[in-house]
Amino acid sequence: MRNIALRLSYDGTNYHGWQVQKTDITVAETVEKALSVICEHPVKVVGCGRTDAGVHALRYCCNFKTDCRIPIERIPLAVNSRLPDDIAAVDAVQAPEDFNSILSCEKKEYIYKIHNSRIKDPFLTNRVCFYPSKLDAERMKRAARAFEGTHDFRAVRSVGTETKTTVRTIYWCELEQTGELITMRVCANGFLYNMVRAIMGTVVYAGLGKLEPESIPDLLKAGDRRLTGPTMPPQGLYMSRVWYDGAVGEMMMR
| Active site (catalytic) residues | 52
d(CA 92, CA 152): 36
DSSP designation for 134: -
d(CA 38, CA 68): 9
| Dist. CA 20–CA 186, nearest whole Å | 26
Structural contact between residues 141 and 135, judged by C-beta atoms closer than 8 angstroms: no
| CA-to-CA dists, residue 167 to 26, 152, 197, 217, angstroms | 29, 4, 17, 14
Residue 59: Cβ within 10 Å count: 21
